[in-house]
Every structure is written in C-alpha cells, then in structure tokens.
Amino acid sequence: MTKFLRVAILIALIFSAKDAFAAGANWYVHKGASGSNNGTSWSNAWNEMNQINFSTVACGDTIWLAGGTYTTSLTLNKVCTAGNVLNINRVLSTDSVPVAAAGWNSSFDSQVIISEAGVNLNNNVSYVTVNGRIGTPANNNLGISVRCTASTGCDTIAGPQTGNMDHLTLTYVEAFGPPCITGGGAGPGTCGGSNGGASAGVNIAPSTNTVSSLLLDHMWVHRFSETIRASNWSNCTIQFSDIDSTRQANSGGDHEDVLYSYANTNLTMRYNTIWGSPNDGIFFDFGGTTGFQFYGNVYYHSGGALITFKPGYSFGTAFIYNNIFENDNQFGDYQPGYFYDGGSMTGGAIENNVFENVNFVNPATSVGFTTVDYNAYSTTVGKQDNGTHSFTYNAGTLGSSVLFINESASNPLAANFRLTSKGATTLQSGLSLPAPFNMDMDGNIRGANANWYIGAFTFGSSSAPQPPTGLTITVQ
C-alpha cells in the first residue's frame, strides 16, 4: 500500500466514518420533504436550513444534508465539547446510516447549495463541523456551495461580532461572491456585507473575545472584495484551499484582500493555492499579530502587494517557508508584484521561497526578520536579500515553464507549479527545516532524496488521490 493511499484512507476514516461510531442521533434536511418536517427521517426531513430545530439537536448528533438549493441561512448556535462534536454533513450514497433511513433517494447524493443566504455563526459556537466531504475547485463541485449572486451582496460565512468561538471546522465548502465584485455594479452599502460595505467570503471578526482553533480546510473562497476577514483569531488554520479573484465593488471604498487580518495569534496558512489578487493581498493591519506561519503555498497570477505588514505598526514573529510567489504581469493594479515589509517585526524568517518577478519594497532584514536566506529570485527583479545562499535564476520567456510544469496565465486554474527537471536542478539546495515544514502540498516528505527543493513542491511530486468516501468502522 502506497503512503498516499494510507494517508487518504486515514483522512477518509476521520471525515467519513463518524456516523458509524457516533453515539448521537441522526437528523435530516431535504428540500422536497413533505412529511411532518421534524427532521427524524428523509420522509419527515426539515426542508430548509432555517427549519433545523437546534433545541432538539444535541451535541454528538449528526445532521445530514441532501443535495438541492436552499434559500435560507444555516445558523449555528450550539456549544459542544471535544467528545461530543455536532456534525453537519452533506450526505453520500456510501453512508450506511442515512441511506437506511426512510425516504432515502440516490438523488440526495448531490451538491448542497445555499443560495442568497449564508452560514451564520452566532456567539459562543463550539465544536461544530460543517463538512461538504467531496469535490475540488477545478471541477466546481465542492460538496457544499454557499452562493451570493445577487447584486446586493452579502457575507456568505459570517459572525460572530461578540462572544467566543472555539473549534469550528468548515471543510469542502465553497463561498461564491456577487456579480458586483467582478462585473461592476453597486458600491458599498448596496453591494456589501456586514463589515462596513465590503463583501466578504469569510467574515469572522469579533470585536471582542476570541476565535480559537478555527479550521478552514479544502475551501474555495472566490469573487469577493475581501475573501477572508479575521480578527482576534488564536491557533487557527487555513489549509488546502483555493482563494482567488478578489475585486473591488466598483467603488474604491472597500478593500481587495486575500486576507484582512488584525490582532491574531498563531495563524497558519499552509498548502493553499492563491491567485487573482490585484492589490492588498494578505494584509496585516494595526500591529499585534504574532506567530504567523505561511508555508507550502502557491501564490501566483497576482500583482500589487502579495503580503503586507502595514507601515507604522509593530508585529511579532512571522515564518514564511517553501512558497512560490509568481507575478506574470498579466493581472494586478501594480507591477511587478511585491512583498511589502512595512511594519516592524520582532523576529521570524523568510526562507526557501521562489520569488518570480516579485520583489521586496523594503529589505526584510531592515524591519526585524531574523533570517532571510535560501530564496530564489528571477533575474527580472534581481536578488532581494543579503542571504549568502539566496540566488537569482533566469525564468526565460513568460509562461514557457522553464522551472515549472505550467505557468499558464491565460487559464490560471490550469497552472501547475510542480517542478520540471530543470526546476529541480535549479532549486535543489534549500535549507532543511523540521516538522511541520518538511512536507509539501501533495504529502511528500522533503529531503527524502537528499535534496530540499526551494518552493512549494518536491521534485516528482504529483497530486495525491482523493480520499475514498463512505468508509465505516465498527467499534467493539
């Protein structure tokens, strides 16, 4: 059995087999249900998200969602514990418990769409998982799709404004933004969400208290002026997600941010694909943020500031390892793209990164990063740090994929930044780093063949298979 299959099966056991060993009850949501609508079976399912009766649903239960289009918001308000997580799952035809429930139909195994509404997080939500369980952005088929397609705009995943939130997981969920972001239209106030005018894909920014251990996993967040807005986050992670196509709402009054972040501690972004960012990119405001980790990501087809620590503020540590930053001069408000170290850091490192047509506005070492070395810069910008192991390389003709399999600018979704043989030769002398930084996006261990490759992928890396679904476990 290959290591990829072992990893895939382990993931599947975690995400797919909960129904087999959970002690809680099972509840059902189906748009076309015509029975008593009490959620006890598919025949008697709740037929809208706002009909879910959380006063009867207990922690440790599972709510099964049938495919279809729902037009009311899913509002989460449960405070659960580590031993009794509330699971809200898109159903699959391989799930034994819901398939055996009265009224089951194989058509229920289809995409769950929440249209012109969202996922609302009330105050003090804890240990709740919303799981689409299947799909990829490339195939436009993530298990749950939360869509804001009206010209008025909205925040698709929002809240809370006060109170604590702990151990919320959103996985295999799409957040799809309004047409006023990409095609013109109304400005802030009419095309906007709750964050003062900008339309946000994920807007979890309480003004008081904290958001702890939030996990955004295998998400697709796109077509928003702010794809993710975060404040007072602690030990949160964004991973294996596609974040793309940030735009203004045709007004100049809102941001264009991949992530707008302030006052966060130990935020990790890893193994993400980020593209189509024209301006602010990942933007740290007001200082105070510390322990930021950004590793194993591919950030491409973007101009302007890719990562910004706002000038005039003090920040803690940041560790930026084994990423690819690529600007193809095809998109963005400012060219070439740049990394803006404007704030004052108290430590951290920038190592093992590829900067293709991307430069530093300020030398990173001048604002407090402890180490900036082992980075590769294209000759279009030249070497940007004083590290003795950093170097420049000739990227060749734009899009010719000298180092990478496919740097497609015409179709960003087709881009593939895994290494060619020339790329492997050019980028083979990176710095060896400890776990968790020793794995690439495909699950390959770095340095296994004696070379630590600079950038997001080891040589020979290929996409890992999707985990099998519907596996069950019997616990004796």
Residue 187 has pLDDT above 50, yes or no: no
Instruction: Report the C-alpha dihedral over residues 163, 168, 172, 175, rounded to 10 degrees.
Output: 0
Average pLDDT over every residue of 48-71? 97
CA distance 95 to 455: 39
> In this predicted structure, what is the pLDDT of residue 225?
82
> Which of the residue ranges 83-87, 171-175, 177-181 would you say has the lowest mean pLDDT?
177-181
Mean pLDDT for the chain? 85
Q: What is the pLDDT of residue 79?
A: 95
User: Which residues fall within 8 angstroms of residue 131, CB to CB, at 6 or more apart?
Assistant: 15, 87, 88, 89, 90, 143, 144, 169, 171, 172
* Secondary structure (3-state) at 108: helix
Phi/psi-derived region of residue 34, left when phi > 0, alpha when psi is between -120 and 50, beta in every other case: alpha
Q: Give the pLDDT of residue 170.
A: 98
Helices (H), 193-331: none
pLDDT category, 153, cuts 50, 70, 90?
Answer: low
**Do residues 229 and 206 touch, judged by C-beta distance below 8 A?**
no
Q: What is the pLDDT of residue 307?
A: 94
SS3 per residue for 172-223: CEEEECCHHHHCCCCCCCCCCCCCCCCCEEEEECCCCCCEECCEEECCEEEE
Q: What is the pLDDT of residues 338-374, one digit of tens each?
A: 887 777 889 999 999 999 999 988 776 767 899 999 9
CB-side neighbour CA atoms (13 Å) of 217: 17
Give tens-digit pLDDT for 293-345.
Answer: 999 999 999 988 999 999 889 999 999 999 999 998 888 888 888 887 777 88
